[in-house]
């Protein structure tokens, strides 16, 4: 998938666990794991906004585009 998810990076910067983030955002740890591991097919803007609020970041800190061969354009 050409969209990479960097939730792990923000979790490490904030010294927060997946379980704590899931609780604070209001989603299940299983659904957060699907998103975190790049297996999600979609994410609601409300969920993205809640992630950004809790992690005090911008959507671009959590999501980035990669070409199919794994290189980052930009």
Two structure tokens written together for 37:
């591991």
What pLDDT does 63 receive? Answer: 96
CA dihedral angle for residue 2, residue 43, residue 15, residue 61, rounded to 10 degrees: 50
What pLDDT does 71 receive? Answer: 63
Mean pLDDT of 26-35: 96
User: Where does the chain have alpha helices with state H?
Assistant: 7-14, 18-25, 29-36, 45-55, 59-62
Two structure tokens written together for 62:
């959590």
Tell me the pTM: 0.86
Two structure tokens written together for 20:
């704590």
pLDDT at residue 69 greater than cutoff 70: yes
Residue-wise pLDDT tens digits, 52-65: 999 999 999 999 99
Residue 54 CA to residue 69 CA, distance in Å, equals 32
């Amino acid at each position: 998938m050409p969209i990479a998810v960097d939730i792990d990076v923000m979790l490490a910067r904030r010294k927060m666990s997946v379980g704590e983030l899931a609780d604070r955002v209001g989603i299940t740890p299983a659904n957060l794991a699907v998103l975190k591991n790049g297996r999600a097919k979609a994410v609601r803007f409300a969920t993205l906004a809640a992630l950004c609020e809790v992690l005090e970041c911008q959507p671009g800190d959590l999501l980035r585009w990669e070409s199919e061969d794994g290189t980052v354009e930009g």
